[in-house]
Amino acid sequence: MFLFEIAVILIAAKLAGDVVMRWGIPPVVGQLLAGLVLGTVFTALGPLPALQSTQPLLKEMSDLGVVLLMFLVGLETNWEQLHASRRAAVSAASGGAVISLVSGVAIGLLFGLSWLESVFAGVILMATSVTITAQTLIELESLQTLEGTTVLGAAVVDDVIGPAPRSRSRSRWLSHWSTAWRRRMLAWRRSRAPTSLGC
């Protein structure tokens, strides 16, 4: 079953990458779409024992693929150029993080979310992926250009500054959610408790 799943994933990723490449789009975009479709299909199939038994091995394989990709990126990265573009990378990462956070908060408030939930949504939008960025630059053959190293540096900086507010907002959101849940359960128990008149 594991080999069948690997074959399905590879074929779907290859076909989707070739399709979007015909439109001038990096293949990684098609591969992401293929992953979304496969994930939706496998989720719709329900908890099949055959699929669940191979999930740990699939996760290990995916982690290994990420490690090998980042190793390849490290080999092909021009470190002198990356160091020279550090100021532009930090500025781009900081600006992108602020814009994502403000946009997420504004959209959350617009849809009627609370302030804490809106901040949590904004912090989620701050997340980026160095792996996807690097893969896109490799496919565009722009990894060793000044623009490519600046974008890669910005993605790295964003991954450094992003986890702190994400973890803090997540802990505050979970604390807020658990407190609200406990209050609701307490109110429900009180409403179900027999009164002295009914005894």
Can you give the pLDDT at residue 170?
54
CA distances, 136 to each of 27, 34, 40, 152, 181 (Å): 8, 16, 24, 10, 43
Question: Is the pLDDT confidence value at 188 over 70?
Answer: no
For 42, residues 6+ apart whose C-beta sits below 8 A from its C-beta are: 51
**pTM over the 0.75 mark:** no
153-157 mean pLDDT: 79
Token duo for residue 39: 């994930």
Whether residue 20 has pLDDT greater than 80: yes
Helix axes 163-192, 146-161, angle to 10 degrees: 40
Tell me the mean pLDDT in the region 141-146.
78
Mean predicted lDDT score pLDDT of the chain: 76
Per-residue pLDDT band at 195 (split at 50, 70, 90): very low
Contacts of 34 (CB under 8 A, 6+ apart): 9, 12, 13, 15, 16, 17
Domain boundaries defined on the chain: 1-38, 69-186
For the chain, the first-to-last Cα distance in angstroms comes to 61
